[in-house]
A and B are shown apart, each in its own frame.
Chain A
């Protein structure tokens, strides 16, 4: 409670609003280390969440860690972090895509979510309301059942700051690239996109990249996202993104030349996406491994697709995701279509990256 009050005061919120769900980040031992483990174990002695709460991916798949060559000490501490969250009543989802596994707050609902891609999706695509929480503040909100009302919880905080005209018809990886470019240019602002159509899946990739290169927690897309119509765009600064910008972004995020693995995740894949990858891998079997990151629920529900991917030398990992997992001890250069992955892999995993469309990557490494 003291955390929430202090955060509320810092942001000049007038009150706390009740929330219907929370999503907590800070679960990978690789990311939070011993300080995080120690805090969570201390906290789990008496803290319990009072609203449905999900948690971000861990640093490894809990069932496959030995085959992956994860050091036993890492796996042991990772298991203790997972256990601490479960003790607090957190659902062991270990997913960065709660919106793909049944947690879909409805329009106008207040929630407290950490994990920037999920925040972007909840605000922009679902029309729910959450700030970009950090791990500790989302956990505090889950325990109290409320969050300070400011920023993206208010109507004013959801008004766009910049119009982004997209002058090309995006497909595939283009959504990630649009997100990367717009995030860099808009910074912590709130972009209003126009000029293209997109599916929910496309918006997931756009939002994840946008929230990585920028501080954005929300975007609007004209005629597509639920709040686009009621925004005020008159007199706003506008910028343009064209095909040339997307090509340049793809080039600037690519610093590797030969990939050791094709990695798909960041955010975790949906069931549809896992099945499509299985089909493509089956059609053009790759000569380097394809690693797919998804949630436990999706993996369990798609055993056929999992079998196909693994038959061709790949792996389907659950409980974890691309840049929070221990990957760097196995692969030096990662090829990925994820804008968010390309943004974080060089710093978080000291890896080289090839950012390209999945079809192009499968062709290249056939």
Chain B
């Protein structure tokens, strides 16, 4: 699949991804001489940046980080490319000084360490060959501060037994919002939905499938749910309780895009 983002630094880079789920500081986070990752919270400690496309949400820490990126590239141990969710001044300036192709506005949560990536800084795109995009809708139903989660039955094709929001595949050029409303009717029997928000899409990964999730938030007047075959249990929970459930990937992030 090819993901469209925004150009920060022009140029093309190919390499295996080195992905961190957390923001990264180049000061203290990487060895400035060898380009080895030091920060254990990245989940990529001891990996080397050289030849990799470095994928992380955004930079943090001291502005000296720009100079560290410059030094790494000058020694030939810097990353081949950088992908961020939202570029910040430290990393962007470093990439410019170092001439490292860079793209942002990419949901970095869908990329795994080891994925082969093709970064096109001129077009502002990132391609993950071998991964297929599958568009889906995910609907957060809210009633007096609680949201509905359902447990996926053994009859469905993926994530059996995981807790999820109301969801469904998008077919062809279907309008995501109409699909969302239809899924709610089928899976819960609830009517009288009041549209509240549409979130920015979230990339949830399952092996070679990338679910491109379109989040929606609706308020409903009733908590009386009638499940169909796709789910076998439901709960109305407070959003902060989600951590206690075994959920489909990134449900928390989906909820966060529509609930602020």
* A interface residues, Cβ below 8 angstroms from B: 2-3, 6-7, 10, 25-26, 31-36, 38-39, 42, 114, 134-137, 140
Q: Which of A10, A35, A114 contacts B67 (CB 8 A)?
A: A35
Q: List 27 A-B contacts (CB under 8 A).
A: A2-B96, A3-B93, A6-B9, A6-B92, A7-B89, A7-B92, A10-B87, A10-B89, A10-B92, A26-B63, A26-B64, A31-B64, A33-B64, A35-B64, A35-B71, A38-B70, A38-B74, A134-B66, A134-B89, A135-B67, A136-B63, A136-B66, A136-B93, A136-B94, A136-B97, A137-B63, A137-B93
CB atoms of B96 and A135 under 8 A apart: no
CB atoms of B63 and A6 under 8 A apart: no
> Could you mark each residue 167-182 of chain B with 1 if its beta carbon is under 8 Å from any beta carbon of chain A, else 0?
0000000000000000
Question: How far in angstroms is the closest Cβ of chain B from A116?
Answer: 11
Is B47 at the interface (CB under 8 A from chain A)? no
Contacts of A34 in B (CB 8 A): 32, 71
Q: Nearest chain-A residue to B8 (Cβ)? A: A6
How many B residues have CB within 8 A of the partner chain?
A: 21
> Could you mark each residue 71-114 of chain B with 1 if its beta carbon is under 8 Å from any beta carbon of chain A, else 0?
10010000000000001111011101100000000000000000
Q: How far is the CA of A209 from the CA of B68 in the complex (A)?
A: 28
Is B62 at the interface (CB under 8 A from chain A)? yes
Question: How far in angstroms is the closest Cβ of chain B from A29?
Answer: 11
Question: How far in angstroms is the closest Cβ of chain A from B15?
Answer: 22
Q: How far is the CA of A322 from the CA of B90 in the complex (A)?
A: 24
Q: How far is the CA of A34 from the CA of B32 in the complex (A)?
A: 9
Contacts of B92 in A (CB 8 A): 6-7, 10
Q: How far is the CA of A35 from the CA of B29 in the complex (A)?
A: 14
Central interface residue in B68, B71, B87, B93, by most chain A CB within 10 Å = B93
Q: How far is the CA of A42 from the CA of B96 in the complex (A)?
A: 15
Question: How far in angstroms is the closest Cβ of chain A from B47?
Answer: 20
CB atoms of B71 and A39 under 8 A apart: yes
Contacts of A6 in B (CB 8 A): 8-9, 92-93, 96
* B interface residues, Cβ below 8 angstroms from A: 8-9, 32, 62-64, 66-68, 70-71, 74, 87-90, 92-94, 96-97
> 19 additional contacts, CB 8 Å, given A35-B67, A38-B70, A39-B97?
A3-B96, A3-B97, A6-B92, A6-B93, A10-B8, A10-B87, A10-B88, A25-B63, A26-B63, A31-B62, A32-B64, A34-B71, A35-B68, A38-B74, A39-B67, A42-B74, A114-B63, A136-B93, A137-B89
Question: How far in angstroms is the closest Cβ of chain B from A324?
Answer: 11
Contacts of B93 in A (CB 8 A): 3, 6-7, 134, 136-137, 140
Q: How far is the CA of A31 from the CA of B92 in the complex (A)?
A: 20
Contacts of A2 in B (CB 8 A): 96
CB atoms of B96 and A35 under 8 A apart: no
Question: How far in angstroms is the closest Cβ of chain B from A102?
Answer: 26
Q: How far is the CA of A26 from the CA of B96 in the complex (A)?
A: 18
Q: How far is the CA of A26 from the CA of B62 in the complex (A)?
A: 10
CB atoms of A32 and B67 under 8 A apart: yes
Question: How far in angstroms is the closest Cβ of chain B from A212?
Answer: 14
Q: How far is the CA of A304 from the CA of B89 in the complex (A)?
A: 45
Q: Nearest chain-A residue to B70 (Cβ)? A: A39
The 4 residue pairs across chains A and B that have the minimum distance between CB atoms: A134-B63, A35-B71, A35-B67, A39-B67
Question: How far in angstroms is the closest Cβ of chain B from A140?
Answer: 8
Contacts of B66 in A (CB 8 A): 134-136
Q: How far is the CA of A38 from the CA of B64 in the complex (A)?
A: 12
Contacts of B90 in A (CB 8 A): 134
Contacts of B96 in A (CB 8 A): 2-3, 6
Q: Nearest chain-A residue to B87 (Cβ)? A: A10
Contacts of B71 in A (CB 8 A): 34-35, 38-39
Question: How far in angstroms is the closest Cβ of chain B from A124?
Answer: 22
Question: How far in angstroms is the closest Cβ of chain B from A320?
Answer: 17
Q: How far is the CA of A3 from the CA of B99 in the complex (A)?
A: 11
Contacts of A36 in B (CB 8 A): 64, 67
Contacts of A134 in B (CB 8 A): 63, 66, 89-90, 93
Q: How far is the CA of A42 from the CA of B75 in the complex (A)?
A: 14
Q: Which of B8, B32, B88 contacts A35 (CB 8 A)?
A: B32
Q: Nearest chain-A residue to B64 (Cβ)? A: A32
Q: Nearest chain-A residue to B68 (Cβ)? A: A35
Question: How far in angstroms is the closest Cβ of chain B from A142?
Answer: 14
